Chain A
Amino acid sequence: MSNPSRLASAAARPRRVPWLALSATLLLAACATTPPPKPQAEAAPRPAAPPPKGLVPARDAYPSTYKVAASGLTAIVNANIYTGTGQKILGGMVVFDAGKIVSVGPAAAPPAGAKLIDAKGRWVTPGLIDAHSHLGVFPAPAVTGQVDVNENIDPNTGYVWAEHSVWPQDAGFERARAGGVTSLLILPGSANLFGGRTVALKNVPAVTVQAMKFPGAPYGLKMACGENPKGRYGARGRTPATRMGNVAGYRRGWIEAADYGKRWAAYDKKAAKGEGGEPPKRDLTLDTLSGALTGELLVQNHCYRADEMANLIDVSHEFGYHITAFHHAVEAYKIAPLLAREGICAAVWSGRWGFKMEAYDGIEENAALLTKAGVCVSLHSDDPNIIQRLNREAAVAQAAGRRAGIDIPDAVAIQWITLNSAKIMGVADRTGSLEPGKMADIVLWSADPLSIYALADLVFIDGAVEFDRQAPRRPSDFELGQNRGDLAQ
């Protein structure tokens, strides 16, 4: 392969579809004899169209209260660095101040007054990012009364927001932090065709979810293919009972959302002319779905099988939206060129397979094959244990690539768990790599993080130390005061 770094960074850019373009798409789609619109040619991403005014309160009603913790000018010196941009620097220096990265490069004189951290022999990466987690919504303990991941009462629950289920005291957040995870996307479960809104979090200890919400991160819409929705509702004698029922369900949802968007657009147009009139009644489901149609929300699509991903891509063309990522995409390797062409990321596992039929064709080489084909690849966890060792996942997937004759450079394997995950979350302009101006989300590892023996020694989030292996653990409120032997020490 020529240059996996370059290929991997040719990532999916959310394609924002302005309302006018969307309307045209819908007109075309409404005419049965007209072929479905071709995917748009690759073009520079356009800024999101402002949402219809009536939607604005919904978008802003649950604001982040996240505060960057105080931290001073710091220089990590003598560090081996994976930058997250595909570079590896040996014996270099990372400087950050006031929560932002100032410089990353080879050895140099540290700035005057900087606190020095000698990383001799140790490694630095961007904070790890998990683009698929259910921490907080499927928490530890996962006992009766605690599980809030699936609003599995209707195939379309676009109206729920994962953040309203997140329990910040989930002990898994701290464990993930100890594994170097600084940002993560929390999704509703996969029981429904439209599962609800995702929420991006900074992995800081907090009492409220608002205090964890990644400032300015876009929302996402969780969708699910395959066995979960059809199994759940088919078993209850409801649609969807089949995969064709699933697709019909998506289409019905999008038709309603498009109509809703049109009514708001018409109202906005009149309002702009001062003609007034009653605004349409808000609908929480359609707020979310219509936001996904405009590109304001990123579509995060749980989908295992290659044929289903292709079907969902057709659905996205029919309704003019963009799929940001297929999650659990165990068969993505079968359609790698299609995903590359569409600019859709694949969030995959290294080793999970076979637990259900749609996972039966999972292979360890998935990430390497996709990277070789130019697809933006992220290794995700979907699991409170795997999230603690995303670096191990990267090493496993890299080794599988080598077995297949695909050389994934170390610095590119690191992108699977940093920058590419940030792209899926829509925060790659702010975190996921060590570049000046970005958030100082940084992990100092005891060894090369692609080694099984590496542990996170220090984890910085916006420049502040949020995990220190030498310091006493910070148990969650649930764990505090429980007899845990000497664990807390």
Chain B
Amino acid sequence: MKPIVPLLAGLFAASALSTSALAEPATAIIHARLLTMGPVGEIADGTVILRDGKILAVGKGLAPPAGSQVIDAKGAIVTPGLFAPNTVLGVREVNSVKGTDDAKSSSSDLGAAFDPQYGLNPDTTLVPVARLGGVTRAIVVPAPGGDGEGGGADDGDGALFDGQVLAIRLAGDLLVKPRLAVAMRFGENGAGGSRGAEIGLLRARLEEVRLYKQNRAAYDRGELRDLKLSRQDLEALIPVVEGREPLLVTVHRAADIRQVLAFAREQRLKVILNGAEEGWRVAGEIAAAKVPVILNATADLPRSFEIVGASLQNAAKLRAAGVEIAIVSPDPAHRVRELRYEAGSAVAQGLPYAAALEAITIAPARIFGLADQLGSLAPGKAGDLVIWDGDPLAPRSLPTAIYVDGIAQPLRSRALDLRDRYESGDGAPR
């Protein structure tokens, strides 16, 4: 075996000392073709060592720690666990069964402050199904408030703000980190009844937030002018006006993207664009603003006037212009397992392979400020990885092992239980 690099060796030694008393042995995956998505890039015949839920070391010719469980990947591709950047996993079981849908707020007092984390259901059957597609992490984006009841204060056709964005792991209790961003929509499905009204409302509400922030005591004494937003929403928007928490803005047409970029400049907001079907038409401006984009790589139909320019080349063109992109699954719930095929279809349309894999691993982690913990195979990051029996972006490849936080996940789901019952006939009802 080749000597390990000094940095890794150091990490290794330190960990070895500190963990000798722990019950969990390390796991070493050897002879893996590592697509690390991290600084070391691709390693043709490498080793990943997982311990205490984290990646201990990644490299060529590493010696597994004594007592490790050693898994010989026999040349198979190993990637970081995939990261779905726009889902409702954990907060929706069946779309049409309202009682299972915790993705949205219907309260007019709770818009920006609506936090779906309290509705997370670790027992959802959707998580194991999505995980079998190699997905180990996901962003949960709240859905627009339903049924015209609004969600958060507004004066028009719907809520200005949909609520809080959070990150989940596809295992255990799900929650990783809440309050990563505040979600909203701009354009045809925005609030206020028109684009101009929505911008006006946004200005007014963000001004309220700043006023509230500077005069909390007066607000508590009832000496501040009436504010439209509820106190919870005001509090939730403080990190947004301070530019610490991004606004995740669902927006589609080129002109609207420009408006959002201009509004963000004016208000000194951090924004992430979601959708951006016509993003490729203003790719240079998005890149110049250093704004990332979460997109559907196969959205190419002019289903409304705001996406007349929807194109299968959106992903490739945005990326070529230097925009950070993340790719979403075909739907945010039941089809999350198809995330990797969407990346594959983007490759077919000209997105470089490495960029496509980035768009479903490290890019979402970076976009939501989680790249120190997630998204690549690098020491110190969460022990999320997938061993594949072929190209991870190809439907005809399947995961042979899936680790979340260093723990091998069962390659099972309710769907497979159904399959097995009816395939064998054993235990199938008459």
Q: Are A175 and B423 in contact (CB under 8 A)?
A: no
Kindly state whether residue B218 has any CB partner on chain A within 8 Å: no
B104 to chain A, nearest CB (A): 16
DSSP class of A's interface residues: helix, strand, loop or mixed?
loop
Q: Does B268 contact A (CB under 8 A)?
A: no
Say if the beta carbon of B410 comes within 8 Å of chain A.
no
**A356 CA / B419 CA spacing, docked (Å):** 19
The answer to whether B347 touches A353 (Cβ under 8 A) is no
Contact A399 B305 (CB under 8 A): no
**CA distance in complex: A485, B338 (Å):** 29
Give complex CA distance A266, B154 in Å.
67
> Using Cβ atoms and an 8 Å threshold, which residues of chain A touch B97?
356-357
Whether B304 contacts A143 by the Cβ 8 Å rule is yes
| B396 A351 Cβ-Cβ under 8 A | no
Contact assessment for A355 and B281 in the assembled complex, using a CB-CB cutoff below 8 Å: no
Q: Are B415 and A452 in contact (CB under 8 A)?
A: no
With contact pairs A351-B338, A362-B415 given, residues A485 and B345 touching in the complex (Cβ less than 8 Å): no
Q: How many residues on chain A are close to B (CB under 8 Å)?
A: 50
Q: Are A384 and B94 CB-contacts (below 8 A) given A399-B395, A487-B309?
A: no
A352 touches B335 (CB 8 A): yes
A354 lies within 8 A of B95 (CB): yes
- Give every chain A residue within 8 A of B395 (Cβ-Cβ): 392, 395-396, 398-399, 452
Give the shortest distance, in Å, between B420 (CB) and chain A (any CB): 8
User: What residues on A are CB-neighbors of B299 within 8 Å?
Assistant: 385
Query: Is A74's CB within 8 Å of the partner chain B?
Result: no
Q: Of the listed stretches A215-223, A288-296, A339-347, A363-371, name the one at the interface; the rest are far from the partner chain.
A: A363-371
Q: Which residues on the A side are within 8 Å of B415 (C-beta)?
A: 353, 362-364
B95 touches A479 (CB 8 A): no
Contact of B393 among A355, A452, A484 (CB under 8 A): A452
Query: Which residues of the other chain, B, contact A171 by a CB distance below 8 angstroms?
Result: 301-302
* A-chain residues with CB within 8 Å of residue B338 when the two chains form the complex: 351, 396
Q: Closest CB of chain B to A451's CB: distance in Å? A: 7
B232 within 8 A of A: no
Residues of chain B within 8 A of A484, CB atoms compared: 308-309
Contact between B308 and A369, CB atoms less than 8 A apart: no
Q: Is A470 an interface residue (CB 8 A)?
A: no
CA of A364 to CA of B300, assembled, Å = 25
Q: Say yes or no: B419 contacts A363, CB within 8 Å.
A: yes
B171 to chain A, nearest CB (A): 20
Which chain B residue has the least Cβ–Cβ distance from A450?
B396
> CB-CB contacts of B333-346 with A at 8 A, as 1s and 0s?
11101100100110
Asked if residues A334 and B96 are in contact (CB atoms below 8 Å), the reply is no
- A172 close to B (CB within 8 Å): yes
Q: How far is the CA of A389 from the CA of B393 in the complex (A)?
A: 15
Task: Give the secondary structure class of B's interface.
Answer: loop
Chain A 439-450 interface mask (CB, 8 Å, partner B; 1/0): 000000000001
Q: Mark B235-266, 1 if CB is under 8 A from A, else 0.
A: 00000000000000000001000000000000
Number of B interface residues, CB 8 Å?
48
Q: Which residues from chain A contact B254 at a C-beta distance below 8 Å? A: 485
* Set B96, B300, B394: member contacting A452, Cβ < 8 A: B394
User: Cβ of B423 and Cβ of A404 under 8 Å apart?
Assistant: yes
**Do the beta carbons of A355 and B309 come within 8 Å of each other?**
no
Instruction: Mark each residue of chain A from 33 to 65: 1 if its CB lies under 8 Å from any CB of chain B, else 0.
Output: 000000000000000000000000000000000
Which of these, A334, A451, A478, A479, contacts B394 with CB under 8 Å?
A451
Q: Cα distance A395–B390 when bound, in Å?
A: 14
Given contacts A452-B347, A479-B308, contact A389 B334 (CB under 8 A): no
Q: Does B397 touch A at the CB level, under 8 Å?
A: yes
Contacts of A132-167 to chain B: CB distance below 8 A? 140-143
Contact across chains for A478 and B302 when beta carbons are under 8 A apart: yes
Q: A141 near B94 (CB under 8 angstroms)?
A: no
In the bound complex, CA of A303 to CA of B126 (Å): 23
| Minimum distance in angstroms from A380 CB to a CB of chain B | 16
A247 within 8 A of B: no
B153 to chain A, nearest CB (A): 28
Residue pair A140, B348 in contact (C-beta under 8 Å): no
In the bound complex, CA of A455 to CA of B423 (Å): 34
Question: Nearest Cβ in chain A — how far from B396, in angstroms?
Answer: 5
Minimum Cβ distance to chain B for residue A455 (Å): 6
Name the distance in Å between B217's Cβ and chain A's nearest Cβ.
49
**Which residues of B384-430 are within 8 A (CB) of A?**
393-398, 415-416, 418-419, 422-423, 428
Closest to B416 in A: A363
Q: Which of A143, A333, A392, A451 has the most CB of B within 10 A?
A: A392
State which residues 411-451 of A face B: CB under 8 Å. Answer: 450-451
Which A residues touch B301, using CB under 8 A?
140, 171-172, 175, 384-385
Q: How far is the CB of A377 from chain B (nearest CB, A)?
A: 15
Closest 8 CB pairs of A and B: A452-B344, A356-B96, A354-B334, A395-B395, A140-B301, A396-B395, A485-B281, A355-B95
Interface residues of B (CB under 8 A from A): 93-97, 125-126, 254, 278, 280-281, 298-305, 308-309, 311, 330-331, 333-335, 337-338, 341, 344-345, 347-349, 393-398, 415-416, 418-419, 422-423, 428
Q: 29 pairs across A/B with beta carbons < 8 Å? A: A141-B304, A141-B308, A171-B301, A172-B301, A175-B301, A333-B423, A334-B422, A351-B335, A357-B97, A363-B418, A365-B419, A369-B423, A385-B330, A389-B298, A389-B345, A392-B395, A395-B394, A399-B396, A399-B397, A402-B398, A404-B419, A452-B341, A452-B347, A452-B394, A454-B348, A455-B349, A482-B308, A482-B309, A484-B309
- A-to-B contact residues, CB < 8 Å: 140-143, 171-172, 175, 227, 333-334, 336, 351-357, 360-365, 369, 384-385, 388-389, 392, 395-396, 398-399, 402-404, 450-455, 478-479, 482-485, 487
